[in-house]
Every structure is written in structure tokens, then in C-alpha cells.
Amino acid sequence: MARADGTPGPPEGRPGRRRTHTSSFGTAGRISHDSSAYYARRLYDGLPREVPQPYQEVPLPPHLVDAVLCKSSERMEELPDCSVHLMVTSPPYNVGKEYDEDLTLDQYCSFLRRVMTEVYRVLVPGGRACINIANLGRRPYLPLHAFIVQEMLGLGFLMRGEIIWDKGASASPSTAWGSWRSPVNPTLRDTHEYILVFCKGSFGRANPQRRRSTIGREEFLESTRSVWRFPAEPAGKVGHPAPFPVELPRRLIQLYTFEGEVVLDPFMGSGTTALAALETGRHFVGYEIDPRYVEMAQRRIMEARAALRPPGPTS
């Protein structure tokens, strides 16, 4: 029996199975297999499940398109429900840098929960949320990414996966290796950060407007790997205590959005996500509580627009 789109359906008299064409677990190459039994295991009990919703998309008010707002993202009441296609951010790490408060872990998680509740509201069905985060400390080690995963699952986000950002030689040249060449107390030196990837409601996302994908073959193959390797951004170069490089949001925008869609950064900082959105032909909206960084972001955005603008006619 054929489906409405002309593709073959399951044989008559036999119920359809949940099939996938991704690589089977532990096998090289692509095969078709039924994954429904695997995902029905009790290991997945208690985790958010897909709840497909009719696709809905509400346009941003014109004055919020490509805007950086100087206010907290704990309340984003100016953004309509289902008005954002992707969130990319790197929340403040609460480590005593100039833009942080000295919060307890519970307070920090509560703060992020309030922001991500708003993010869930404004994302379109199937929209993605990507969080760049580093773990902290050594004695004890604080697995901050694990706490964020739990908060996001608690809000109903589905987790799509995580990317290891290998900063390699550009990572801070720490010599805090503990006991030198001795098992007494050697210390691991982090040279990576995490990019946690979530989505709202369903893993797939509709594209009823038939917007254009702008990612090429080689870039797609590279970006769908779970380890990304590119250098970090020196804080002194940008003037912000914890910038991420434009390459990080650029890859996520290319992978998870179509041309002309809206990217949200609730912790805009120096405006890097906005620059990546401009570079890839997307729109942005951002939040930042520090007026100094709002001014910095707006200056960088203006410079980026000037660089992207085609030259005028010669006289």
C-alpha cells in the first residue's frame, strides 16, 4: 500500500513499525531497523517524550527583529509564543567574573530555569535550544553541564545530544596539573567545553514556508560529528570576560535553521550570536543586562553590517 506522498507503506495486514534509517547501534554503515522496542525499555521511563504539535509560527514584532534588549531574559514578555526558531547561548558561569553574581548552585539553577522556561515558550514546535557551558573547579569538580541537563529535561525539553568543543592548543595554558608526574594527586586540565542540544516537543521541525537550507555537504558532515575542533576566542580581543568564537553559533545556526529565521540569545554579551546570524542570513533577538555589553554588541553588529553590505557603484 502506498502512502499519500507516493512512498511505499507497510504491507497490508501488518502494523507499521517505527523505522529509522540512521546507523544501527554499534554498527558501521546505514541500515533500516525498527527502534521502537529499544525506546520502549524502562531505561527511558521518566524522560520527556515526543509530543508532536501542529506547527505554529508567530512573526516577531518589527521593532524586535535584529534587536538587543537591555534587560533580564527571565521575562521575555515582548516576544510572542512560537516566534523563535533557535536559541544559542552561553550562560554566565557564576565564577566571580565581573558580570556574574555570587549565587549558590541552587540559586544559579533556579535562575537558568526561569530563563529557559521563557525560551521553551517562545520556541516554535520542534525549535532547538543550544547551550554552551564549561564545567568548573577541581576540588571538587562541578559538572555544571549535568545540572543544566536535568533542569532542561525537567522543563520538558527533549535532549538531542551533546557536542564536545575541543579547544585544543587555544585552551588556557593551565599548569595546575597537581602532583607533577606522581599518582599522589594529579589533576585533569580541561581543554573542552560542552554544547548541549535540546528541542521543544518533537525532534523534527516543519518548514511549511519552504525556506532555504544554506549548509553545504562538507559542512553538514563536519557539523553532525559530536566533537568540534576550533580555537577559543581570547577575552582581550573582544573585551568581554567570556566570549565564544563566531564559529560556534555559526555552525549551530547553519545546522538547525533555514535562511531568514530567528535566533535568540538570552545572554547576548558582546553580540557574537548576532554576528553569526548576520553572516548566515538569519535574524536575531538578544538580551543583555549590562549596558556596556549592549553598547559593545551594537557596535560590533553595526561594523558587521557595514562589512557585509555590498559596495556602492563606482563614480
DSSP sequence for 173-232: -----BSTTSTTSB-----EEEEEEEESS-SS---TT-PPP---HHHHHHHTSSEEE-PP
- Nearest Cα to Cα of residue 209 among 258, 143, 161: 258
Whether residue 9 lies inside any domain: the answer is no
- Nearest Cα to Cα of residue 255 among 292, 236, 232, 282: 282
pTM of the model: 0.84
Q: For residue 68, which phi and psi values (nearest 5 degrees)?
A: -115, 120
Buried b (16+ CB within 10 A) or exposed e, 195-232: bbbbbbbbeebeeeeeeeeebeeeeeeebeeeebeeeb
Residues 297, 307: Cα–Cα separation, whole Å: 15
Whether residue 290 lies inside any domain: the answer is yes
Whether residue 145 lies inside any domain: the answer is yes
Predicted confidence (pLDDT) per residue in 266-292, tens digit: 999 999 999 999 999 999 999 999 999
Q: What percent of the chain has pLDDT over 70?
A: 79
The CATH number of the domain holding residue 199 is 3.40.50.150
Whether residue 40 lies inside any domain: the answer is no
Overall average pLDDT of the 169-197 stretch:
78
Backbone dihedral region for residue 117 (phi beyond 0: left; psi -120 to 50: alpha; all else: beta):
alpha
Predicted confidence (pLDDT) per residue in 113-165, tens digit: 999 999 999 999 999 999 999 988 888 889 999 999 999 999 999 999 999 99
Q: Measuring CA to CA, how many Å separate 200 from each of 82, 87, 275, 291?
A: 10, 11, 25, 31
Whether residue 118 lies inside any domain: the answer is yes
Band of pLDDT at residue 46, cut at 50, 70 and 90: confident
Whether residue 55 lies inside any domain: the answer is no
Tell me whether the omega of the peptide bond preceding residue 140 falls within 30 degrees of 0, making it cis. yes
Whether residue 129 lies inside any domain: the answer is yes
Residues 1 and 11 sit within 8 Å (Cβ to Cβ)? yes
**Domain housing 75:** 65-170+188-205+213-308
- Tell me how far apart the terminal alpha carbons of the chain are, to the nearest angstrom: 66
Most confident region among 35-49, 84-98, 137-151, 174-188 by mean pLDDT = 137-151
Residues 310, 315: Cα–Cα separation, whole Å: 15
Sheet-wide strand order for 123-133: 67-69, 283-287, 262-265, 84-89, 123-133, 192-199, 158-166, 227-229
275: three-class secondary structure by DSSP: helix
Residues 194, 38: Cα–Cα separation, whole Å: 27
Q: Which residue has the cell 547561548?
A: 89
Q: For residue 43, which phi and psi values (nearest 5 degrees)?
A: -55, -30
Cα torsion 267, 270, 274, 279: sign? negative
Task: Report the domain count for the chain.
Answer: 1
Residues 210, 208: Cα–Cα separation, whole Å: 5
Whether residue 110 lies inside any domain: the answer is yes
Checking if the pLDDT of 299 tops 70, the result is: yes
Residues 243 and 233 sit within 8 Å (Cβ to Cβ)? yes
Higher-pLDDT residue of 165 and 233 is 165
